[in-house]
């Protein structure tokens, strides 16, 4: 039977310092770091140990880290050209005709609806989440998606997001959603699902997105699922839309949308 390992106070302090320094070097956000430290504090309390996360040197390190401010967000936007490239490459990346149609609809909605990824797809393939099938309806102007809850709507009042057609374009989100609905299994729950009824997960969305970016010769790590939302704001500004219009597209209630307008970070396709 293996013997238990008991660490002394100084050894635990060293481990906490190592843990803190590694997270700071990795650029972990302040909110995530606070949650991690809260978890450590709970562990110390449970083990009957002093709360080393409240030590003077830990508080000073956190104070200095917060003074640095937020890290510069350099994620690149998905532009119209990149979106077209993603749709084209989907034919070779997708594992079946159904999957190709599913991901084309998902990418089109992420961009033209300026959705946060958590609003659109499930957190995992085992959990129902994201956009609900019952919240998708058709209107003369296009397709309406009912957003049950969002980052700026924690009370859960919900709001309708209108996605308009682009006549004659292969990128038309309404046309791509119609193609998906023509083959979507008749099951309740999450709107974006695989042929077997399992929800499209965040991990799967990002994995296929990265594969398509690689096929386009782009550096996948320079993008994220949020690049669709960033791209919606960036392309709106590049096409001359004013601040009020851009705020409506992304459902921004403040000038925070300006940080999403990044024409200088638009990647060129080879």
**Which CATH number, 1.10.443.10, 1.10.10.60, 1.10.10.10, 1.10.1660.10, labels domain 80-265?**
1.10.443.10
pTM of the shown model: 0.73
Task: Give the whole-angstrom CA distance, residue 171 versus residue 84.
Answer: 7
Q: What is the pLDDT of residues 158-208, one digit of tens each?
A: 889 999 999 999 999 999 999 999 999 999 999 999 999 999 999 999 999
d(CA 65, CA 61): 6
Q: What is the CA radius of gyration of the chain?
A: 22
What is the per-residue pLDDT for 26?
66
Question: CA geometry: angle at 183 spanning 206 and 134, to 5°?
Answer: 75
Q: What is the DSSP string of 52-100?
A: GGGSHHHHHHHHHHHHT-SPP--PPPP-HHHHHHHHHHHHHH-SSHHHH
Taking only the tens place, the pLDDT of each residue in 83-122 is: 999 999 999 998 899 999 999 999 999 999 999 999 999 9
Domain ranges of the chain: 9-67, 80-265
Q: Is 105:176 a contact under the CB 8 Å cutoff?
A: yes
At 2, the pLDDT band (50, 70, 90 cuts) reads very low
The model's pLDDT over 37-67, given as tens digits with 9 standing for 90+, comes to: 888 888 888 888 888 888 887 888 887 777 6
């Amino acid at each position: 039977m293996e013997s238990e390992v008991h660490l002394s106070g100084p050894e635990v302090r060293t481990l906490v310092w190592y843990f803190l320094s590694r997270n700071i070097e990795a650029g972990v956000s302040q909110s995530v770091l606070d949650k991690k430290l809260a978890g450590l504090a709970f562990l110390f309390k449970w083990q009957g140990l002093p709360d080393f996360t409240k030590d003077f040197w830990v508080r000073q390190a956190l104070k200095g880290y917060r003074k640095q401010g937020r890290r510069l967000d350099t994620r690149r936007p998905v532009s119209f050209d990149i979106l077209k490239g993603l749709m084209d490459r989907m034919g070779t990346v997708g594992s079946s005709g159904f999957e190709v149609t599913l991901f084309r609809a998902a990418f089109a909605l992420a961009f033209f609806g300026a959705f946060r990824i958590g609003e659109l797809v499930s957190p995992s393939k085992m959990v129902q989440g994201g956009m609900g099938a019952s919240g998708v309806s058709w209107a003369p102007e296009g397709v309406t998606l009912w957003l049950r809850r969002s980052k700026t709507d924690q009370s859960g009042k919900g709001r309708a997001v209108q996605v308009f057609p682009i006549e004659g374009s292969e990128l038309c989100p309404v046309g791509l959603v119609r193609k998906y609905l023509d083959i979507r299994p008749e099951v309740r729950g999450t709107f974006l699902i695989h042929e077997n009824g399992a929800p499209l997960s965040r991990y799967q969305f990002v994995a296929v997105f990265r594969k398509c970016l690689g096929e386009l010769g782009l550096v996948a790590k320079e993008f994220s699922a949020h690049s669709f939302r960033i791209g919606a704001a960036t392309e709106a500004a590049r096409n001359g839309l004013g601040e009020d219009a851009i705020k409506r597209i992304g459902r921004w209630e403040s000038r925070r949308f300006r940080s999403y307008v990044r024409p200088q970070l638009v990647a060129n396709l080879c």
